[in-house]
Amino acid sequence: MENIRGDLTLTPVGHVSSPLSDRAAAPKQGTEGAPDAWLVFEPAYHAALEGLRAGDRVIVLTWLHLASRDVLRTRPRDDPANPETGVFATRSPARPNPIGLHPVEILQVTGRRVRVRGLEALDGTPVLDVKPVLAGDTGP
Ligand SMILES: C[S@@+](CC[C@H](N)C(=O)[O-])C[C@H]1O[C@@H](n2cnc3c(N)ncnc32)[C@H](O)[C@@H]1O
């Protein structure tokens, strides 16, 4: 059986180009007033963009590279009024593997760049993957 406990190697396929540069000032989620942003893909992955169209809803997976990875418990939304809880019960960027999950709408596809509506990842955030939203993603 394959050893799943070893280190994994992930290769970013691109990065986020965004006006957001301040973690504290960034919206907590894309639906909370986040600006539009570009996903800029490495040339090696251009063929993987084929089929993406303006109007599509996709899930962007990012690596929230500035986040702490040694945090296991947190207060949701950094609110002292909230009780501390395990990070797997939250969307906190601080977690053992700081993968960001961003459902967004595609606004434009131009060459190696894809413009998306409302993305709260900071400028320079590595992009790991893009997947289409499926009808069943939010449950039955
Ligand atoms: C609460 S997380 C949610 C991310 C994603 N929507 C999710 O649910 O997985 C969003 C926050 O992460 C922080 N953030 C954004 N880009 C980051 C990065 N590259 N490294 C670390 N933190 C980042 C910002 O403070 C932003 O408000």
102 lines ligand 1 (CB under 6 A): yes
What is the pTM (predicted TM-score) of this model? 0.95
Total number of residues shown for the chain: 140
Asked whether residue 140 is assigned to any structural domain, the reply reads no
How far is 75 from 24, CA to CA, in rounded Å? 15
122 lines ligand 1 (CB under 6 A): yes
Q: CA nearest 104: which of 90, 114, 92, 89?
A: 114
- In tens digits, the chain (140 residues) has pLDDT values of 456 677 889 999 999 999 999 999 999 999 999 999 999 999 999 999 999 999 999 999 999 999 999 999 999 988 899 999 999 999 999 999 999 999 999 999 999 999 999 999 999 999 999 999 998 888 77
What is the Å distance from ligand 1's center to 16 Cα? Answer: 12
Give residue 14's identity as a one-letter amino acid code. Answer: G
Number of domains in the chain: 1
Pull the structure tokens for residue 138. Answer: 């939010």
Asked whether residue 12 is assigned to any structural domain, the reply reads no
Q: Has the ipTM of the complex gone over 0.85?
A: yes
Pull the structure tokens for residue 10. Answer: 């992930």
Beta pairing partners, 37: 116
| Residue identifier of the C-alpha nearest atom 23 of ligand 1 | 64
Asked whether residue 118 is assigned to any structural domain, the reply reads yes
